[in-house]
Structure 1
Amino acid sequence: MSKIIYTITDEAPMLATHSFLPVIAAYASTAGVDVETRDISLAGRIIAQFPDRLTDEQRIDDALAELGDLAKTPEANIIKLPNISASTPQLKAAVKELQEQGYDLPDYPESPTTEEEKEARARYDKVKGSAVNPVLREGNSDRRAPASVKQYARRNPHSMGTWSPESRTNVATMGADDFRHNEKSVVVDAEDTLRIEHVGADGTVTVLKESVPVLAGEVVDGTFMNVAALRRFLTEQIARAKADDVLFSVHLKATMMKVSDPIIFGHAVQAFFPTLFEQYGEQLAAAGISPNDGLGALLSSVSDLPDGAAIEAAVQQGLADGPRMAMVDDTKGITNLHVPSDVIIDASMPAMIRTSGHMWGPDGEEHDCLAVIPDSSYAGVYQTVIDDCRAHGAFDPSTMGSVPNVGLMARAAEEYGSHDKTFEAPAAGTIRVVDSAGTTLMEHEVEPGDIWRACQTKDEPIRDWVKLAVTRARATGVPAVFWLDAERAHDAHLIAKVEEYLPEHDTDGLTIEIMDPAAATAYSLERIRRGEDTISVTGNVLRDYNTDLFPILELGTSAKMLSVVPLMNGGGLFETGAGGSAPKHVQQLVKENHLRWDSLGEFFALAASFEHLAESAGNARARILADTLDRATGTFLEENKSPRRKVGEIDNRGSHFYLGLYWAQELARQSEDAELAAAFAELAQTLEGKEEQISAELLEVQGSPVDIGGYYRPDPEKAEQVMRPSATFNEALAALSV
């Protein structure tokens, strides 16, 4: 039997799965396709790390490790939904919830001292940050807006804020002493095992990372951010924002960059509240309160301290003395510096650009802002877009072109900060990378607290990335631009490899360029405004940024993108879009029993998964399911059955019903398989005849609070009841058979 693995993840996508998976399973069964699930949610990943502390009933397998092995096989067919890339506060919250549910888990140790605490911290660190993607992504990324989505966006353009030539919104970034300027890079000649060491001023050698296996041709980088320079920079930008009377905001990636960016975030918190930390810093540290966890964690913890009231007063005074701060939720007083994972750069910057270059201020109104992006590696991309909007006005979704992406990410390529090769310098000295013979490949002089990090990019994924870029350029006839900066050490090596591997492919008649990110942005924007498409061929971090930036401008959301990962050993990984607004969706469901999560990304991924299955397994009915689902999704868009925002309107569950109805109608109309058509004609007739009844059943439950038994690990039965409230629809699906 053919098989699709559907992942159980987190938040709104996970709740939507309770509604949509029964539809998938019923339809797939008619083609002999078995749909299995694997739990790779944050809670599931935590539980899998501590089998020795749990009961037999509580233990679960390490599904992520299993899927990581599967992704290396030709049989892999995995649909991956958005998951939480946990910051430390999110991880702590998930652990607390699981403890309350009866799981005997240790507290997350901020500063482990005992061997037991160190072991617990090591297990939790496997779960933090972007822990899922490096394991599953055994291929490079092909991400683009499906034609049906682009056509719909042009006919039904989303709102775009008006840009003024007088806008004072800008990006602030470091001009020296940051990751971009301190980067060093080598290409290793042969398979080896490297070591990362800190050499103190007195010559004492401390091994930071004992074993870093590398392959021949692999690109290995090291870089650091000078923290003294960072603090000067942050202090200057706080003063600049106040002088310019614009909102102050910090934009980081404290999820993917799970070690470096929370530290940078903590420095921003300290820089904004200098008096607070001068007076009470030692007391806060002694109580285990870290600025890296944000202002929210600090405020929720200080009430038990002797000077708690004075500390809270110092926070309020700091807010009054500083520039106006951008807000996450002004009605609740949640600022840009409350939670490190609240303002994630790849979602927050496009949203700001789409909204006239504005963010929300403490007064509940929109204002120009100073977007602080400390590392300068890709800050110029956003400044270029802002300058373009200031000069030419907002983009027009009804006419603008598209920027699909081919992203280098296979085998954890360029996963800066999301692994165990990022460190705070313990003392003044040198951090160096040495090979097995003891030869130093690169080194940096550091001061205490400097943030040093390394990454690896294997040669085979780079070669595959070049191949995928040429393949997409050939398939579309669209120019492909490699976003690489010859002035960066890492990018210089990639440019050499791109120039080496491009001649392996037929590029006659194709436009393939190499430009630095800011120039590539300007080139793409010029074409966008003419309604022309341009493929961005990027490294892993820019892949993350670009696949939010351009879709949010083009489509209003990145959740409507088709994301295919052709796995290097022949399998397929199909991703379903971003989950940035998922937390707010869960909050609304619990409060009002209305889930506005849009599963359109899941529809696209499922069609691509069936298509892959048809080709890899020779399953003719899987091909029919893929083709009819594509057509049904087009109808779904034209009929505007996406979830609405308010109670009493169609939500995620109603969307799944209508997708099921249109899909059944398409299957009934197809002429390739009479038996399949007959079975779905009966289902289509049932759904058509009972459309009004089913819609009423789905709408009448809205408006009251619901209990799903948990945020990070809901009770499956409660979630099932909430997400499948139409007995009529459920019975129709159960009756389907071929």
Structure 2
Amino acid sequence: MARIIYTHTDEAPMLATASFLPILEAFSTTAGIDVTTRDISLAGRILAAFGDVLPQDQQVDDALAELGQLAKTPEANIIKLPNISASVPQLKAAIAELQSQGVALPDYPESPSTDEEKDTRARYDSVKGSAVNPVLREGNSDRRAPEAVKSFARKYPHRMGEWSADSKTSVATMGADDFRHNEQSVVIEGPGELSIVHIGADGAETVLKAPFPVLDGEVVDSTVMRAEALDAFLREQVAAAKEQGVLFSLHMKATMMKVSDPIIFGHAVRAFFPTLFAQHGEQLKAAGLSPDNGLGGILAGVQELDARTQEGVKKAIEQDLADGPALAMVNSDKGISNLHVPSDVIIDASMPAMIRTSGHMWGPDGEEADTLAVIPDSSYAGVYDVVVEDCKANGAFDPTTMGTVPNVGLMAQKAEEYGSHDKTFEIPSPGRVEVRDASGSVLMSHEVQAGDVFRACQAKDAPIRDWVQLAVRRSRLSGMPAVFWLDPERAHDRNLIAKVEACLAEEDTEGLDIRILSPVEATKHTLERVRRGEDTISVTGNVLRDYLTDLFPIMELGTSAKMLSVVPLMNGGGLFETGAGGSAPKHVQQLMEENYLRWDSLGEFLALAESLRHLSRTADNARAEVLADALDRATATLLEEGKSPQRKLGSIDNRGSHFYLALYWAQELAKQTEDAELAEAFGPLAAKFSEAEQTIAEELLAVQGSPADIGGYYRPDPEKTARVMRPSATFNAILDEIAQAL
């Protein structure tokens, strides 16, 4: 039997799965397709990390490792939903919840000293940040807005805030001594091993990274962010925001860059609250309260200290808030600032949201205001700067006329920065960091000071070649020009440019418009075309893939969750990601308070259709393609009829959209002509759905307005979750009949 793996993840996507998966299972059985799940949620990954030490009845299989192996096979067909890329506060919260449920997990050790504590810390660290994507992504990324979605956005445009030419909003980034400016890069000749070593001022050597394998043709980089320059830059931006009368906002990716960006985030917290750390820095450090975990972690942890310290800390914070610029907020009503939690402000979502909202963020007074958007590392900050300046000059983008910007992204086999976690270090003392080969020869070297952040990363040759081939293929299939966003001033990109040019020379590019531009020039070029209504494929590295597949979709469609995200795996399988919309924690909070889930599963619908189509090709299952085509038509009807989730209580929510998708899907199957047996079976079922529409809609609406108990946040109770997410007995009964239809 053909098989699709549907991932069980976190937060809103996990809740939506409890409603949508029974629909998928019912419809797929008619084509002989087995849909199974694998738990790669944060809670599931934590349990798997301690599988050999937990009591037997609490052990779980390592689903992520299993899927990682499956992704390397031609049989892989995986639908991957958004998951939590955990920050330390999220990780601790998940641990506490699991412990409260009786799981025998140890506490997270802040400063491990014994071998047991170090082992515990290493296990927990293995699930932090972007622990899932690098394992599953054995292919490069193909993200684009489906035609039905793009047409709908043009016909029913989302609101775009107006821009003023005298807007004070701007982007600030470092001009030297950051990752971009200090980067070195080499191309490996022949397979071998590299190691990373710190040489202290006294000549003592410490191995930061034990020998790790590299392949022939692999691009390996190293770079350093200098702490002294970072601190000076951040202090300057705090002062500049105050002088300009704008909000101060920091934009990072602490979830994905799980070592470097939390450290940089901590530097920003110290820069904004100088009085706090001058007066109480040592006390906070002694109590294990690190600025790397944000102001929220300090405020929560200080409650455990003596009353005098609590009062002193609160007064110092109040003083710094009064002396500094207004601070951008995540939630003004609850007093949650831009510097509260590292994982609350994620650059690829926060910057497009700001651009879409007239260049504004929310201030502590609950009002919108211009902001100084601080992006310390300059590698990609110029992209956002170009967009901000373009909006000042030309006004907001018009979703009814703007072109589309699909993306082909290099990410296979942990390519580039997002695969650098195990090679990123905060330097303990002055000296030098060297990257050496097996013979001891030094390939790259950086002088460092205590507190500097060193990072090395890799991009293998085979994924680079596959990336170029995918870009050429997408350009030819779509008829769109393609632009490689590569910066000749970056050492890494110079090596990539040479590889891209060599690969392109081997491809059939006749009649295609394919060019290489720096990210800044590529942004300008693409925006000019976008405003003319012209389409352009962006071909980028791993981080820009993430940034651009939020930036352009949020302007085009209002959300990145409506993107089709296909990963053609290098060994022939398929990974189908359900958009780029994150895991939406605010949606879960609303469900718990009001039994209303506004998560939009459009990404799941789009991914499922591609998964079915892939399965029809690889498993010679013609009926799977019939299901896929009917699903695409049903999705278009769902959009046209306005049956997507709304934002307010009393409207259709995620569960209602799932019912209407099932209704329209059944109707499309009943009237299709490719499979008469399938049409005959779905005719009566479509009629039953249609006849029961009013009853089902009323049953779904009736549960709204009261708190919902799902038995947990990170590890909800499956039975409670099912009751909450499947409240219509009428709908459930008809679904049960589908499996018996054929």
TM-score range, shorter chain: over 0.9
Which residue in 2 is equivalent to 1:4?
4
Structure 2: how far apart are the matches of 1:177 and 1:606? 45
Q: Comparing 564-573 with 48-57, which one deviates more in the overlay? A: 48-57
CA distance in 1, matches of 2:537, 2:582: 24
Superposed displacement of residue 53, structure 1: 3.4
- In the TM superposition, residue 211 of structure 1 has moved relative to its aligned partner by 2.0
| Residue 579 of structure 1, CA deviation | 3.6
Give SS of 1:411's match: coil
1:87 maps to what in 2?
87
Q: Post-superposition shift, 1:594?
A: 0.3
What stretches of structure 1 of length at least 5 have no aligned partner?
Answer: none
* Structure 1 counterpart of 2:152, one-letter code: Y
Contact map agreement 1:593 1:701 (CA 8 A) in 2: yes
CA-CA distance at 1:580 after TM superposition: 3.4
* Structure 2 residue aligned with 1:48: 48
Aligned to 2:117: 117
Question: Which of the numbers 556, 559, 562 marks the counterpart of 1:560?
Answer: 562
Residue aligned with 1:410, SS: coil
Any idea what the Cα deviations from partners look like across 1:224-269, whole Å, max 9, x if unmatched?
1000000000000000000000000000000110000000000000
Matched, 1:655 2:663: no
Output the CA distance in 2 between the equivalents of 1:418 and 1:7.
Answer: 25
RMSD over aligned CA atoms reads 0.7
SS at match of 1:186: strand
Using the TM superposition, name which of 302-311 and 711-720 deviates more. 302-311
In structure 2, C-alpha distance between the alignment counterparts of 1:2 and 1:417, rounded to whole Å: 32
Q: Distance in 2 between matches of 1:163 and 1:579?
A: 25
Instruction: Tell me if 1:21 matches 2:7.
Output: no
Whether the 8 Å contact between 2:246 and 2:372 is mirrored in structure 1 is yes
Distance in 1 between the 2:419 and 2:731 partners? 46
SS in 2 for 1:362: coil
Partner amino acid, structure 2, of 1:708: I
Where do residues 332-411 of structure 1 align in structure 2 (5 Å cutoff)? 332-411=334-413
Partners of 2:631 and 2:301 lie apart in 1 by 51
Task: Give the TM-score normalised by structure 2.
Answer: 0.99
Any conservation in 2 of the 1:131–1:418 contact (CA below 8 Å)? no
Offset, 1:417: 6.4
Specify the alignment match of 2:455 in structure 1: 453
Superimposed CA distance per residue, residues 483-540 of structure 1 (whole angstroms, 9 cap, x where no aligned partner): 0001100000000000000022110110001000011001000000000000000000
1:570 equivalent in alignment to 2:569: no
Does the 8 A contact of 1:260 with 1:417 survive in 2?
A: no
Q: 2:197·2:205 contact (CA, 8 Å) conserved in 1?
A: yes
Deviation at 1:581, TM superposition (A): 6.2
- The answer as to whether partners of 1:417 and 1:453 remain within 8 angstroms in 2 is no
1:327 is matched with which residue: 322, 326, 329? 329
Report 1:435-474 matches (<5 A): 435-474=437-476
Q: Deviations over 1:553-596 (max 9, x none)?
A: 00000000000000000000000012436100000000000000
CA distance in 2, matches of 1:414, 1:613: 30
SS at match of 1:203: coil
Distance 1:687 1:497 in 2: 55
Task: Measure the CA separation in 2 of the matches of 1:55 and 1:201.
Answer: 47
Q: Which residue of 2 is the match for residue 126 of structure 1? A: 126
Contact persistence 2:130–2:256 (CA under 8 A): yes
Aligned mates of 2:534, 2:728 — CA distance in 1: 44
TM-superposed deviation, 1:671 = 1.1
The 8 Å contact of residues 420 and 457 in structure 2, kept in 1 or not, is answered as no
Matched, 1:315 2:311: no
Q: Give runs of aligned pairs for residues 107-186 of structure 1, distance below 5 A.
A: 107-186=107-186
Structure 2 Cα separation of the partners of residues 209 and 634 of structure 1? 51
How much has 1:646 moved relative to structure 2?
1.1
Q: Displacement, 1:418?
A: 5.0
2:639 and 2:518 map into 1 onto residues whose CA distance is: 37
Q: Is the contact made by 2:82 and 2:583 (CA closer than 8 Å) also made in structure 1?
A: no
Cα deviation code 1:588-630 (max 9, x no counterpart): 0000000000000000000000000001111010010011001
Write the distance in 1 (CA, Å) between the matches of 2:528 and 2:95: 48
Contact 1:648 1:699 survives alignment (8 Å) = yes
Q: 1:715 aligns with which of 710, 714, 717?
A: 717
Q: Which residue does 2:640 correspond to in 1?
A: 638
The letter of the residue matching 2:355 is I
Report the residue type matching 1:514 in the other structure: I
Alignment of 1:411-450 (within 5 A): 411-416=413-418, 418-450=420-452
Aligned pair partner of 2:513 in 501, 508, 511: 511
Query: Separation in 1 of the partners of 2:534 and 2:110?
Result: 50
Q: Give the TM-score normalised by the residue count of structure 1.
A: 0.99
Q: Is the 8 A contact 1:416 1:453 kept in 2?
A: no
The alignment partner of 1:180 has SS state of: coil
In the TM superposition, what whole-angstrom CA distance separates every residue of 1:261-296 from its partner, at most 9, and x where no partner exists?
000000000011111101110000000000000000
| Letter of the structure 1 residue corresponding to residue 177 of structure 2 | D
Output the CA distance in 2 between the equivalents of 1:657 and 1:87.
35
Q: How many residues are matched?
A: 738
Moved more, 11-20 or 312-321: 312-321
Q: Give 1:609's aligned residue.
A: 611
SS at match of 1:51: coil
Matches of 2:220 and 2:418, distance apart in 1: 11
Correspondences of 1:457-536 after superposition (within 5 Å): 457-536=459-538
- CA–CA separation in structure 1 for the residues paired with 2:111 and 2:579: 35
Contact kept? 1:259, 1:417, Cα under 8 Å: no
- Indicate if the aligned counterparts of 1:256 and 1:417 stay in contact, CA closer than 8 A: no
- The answer to whether the Cα contact below 8 Å between 1:134 and 1:415 also exists between their aligned partners in 2 is no
Supply the distance in 2 between the matched residues of 1:19 and 1:490 (Cα, whole angstroms). 45
Tell me the SS of whatever aligns to 1:637: helix
Which amino acid in 1 is paired with 2:193?
A: T
Q: Distance in 2 between matches of 1:20 and 1:161?
A: 34
Q: Is 1:667 the counterpart of 2:669 in the alignment? A: yes
Alpha carbons 1:9, 1:42 under 8 Å: kept? yes
Whole-angstrom distance in 1 between the partners of 2:623 and 2:328 = 52
SS in 2 for 1:52: coil
Change (3 A) 1:305 1:324: same
Partner of 1:689: 691
Distance in 1 (CA, whole Å) between partners of 2:360 and 2:212 is 44
C-alpha contact 1:302 1:312 (8 A) present in aligned 2: no
Is the CA contact (8 Å cut-off) linking 2:190 and 2:215 kept in structure 1?
yes
Indicate the residue corresponding to 1:225 in structure 2: 225
How far apart, CA to CA, are the structure 1 residues paired with 2:86 and 2:417?
15
Give secondary structure in 1 for the equivalent of 2:56.
coil
Q: Which residue identity is paired with 1:71?
A: A
Structure 1 residue 310: Cα displacement: 1.0
Contact kept? 1:171, 1:373, Cα under 8 Å: yes
1:22 CA drift (Å): 0.3
Match of 1:71 in 2: 71
Matched AA of 1:724:
R
Q: Distance in 2 between matches of 1:462 and 1:93?
A: 38
Q: One-letter code of the match for 1:388?
A: D
C-alpha distance in structure 1 between counterparts of 2:480 and 2:419, whole Å: 33
Deviation at residue 672 of structure 1 after TM alignment: 1.5
The AA in structure 2 aligned to 1:532 is: E
Corresponding position of 2:265:
265
Contact 2:427–2:451 at 8 Å: present in 1 too?
A: yes
Q: Which amino acid aligns with 1:42?
A: L
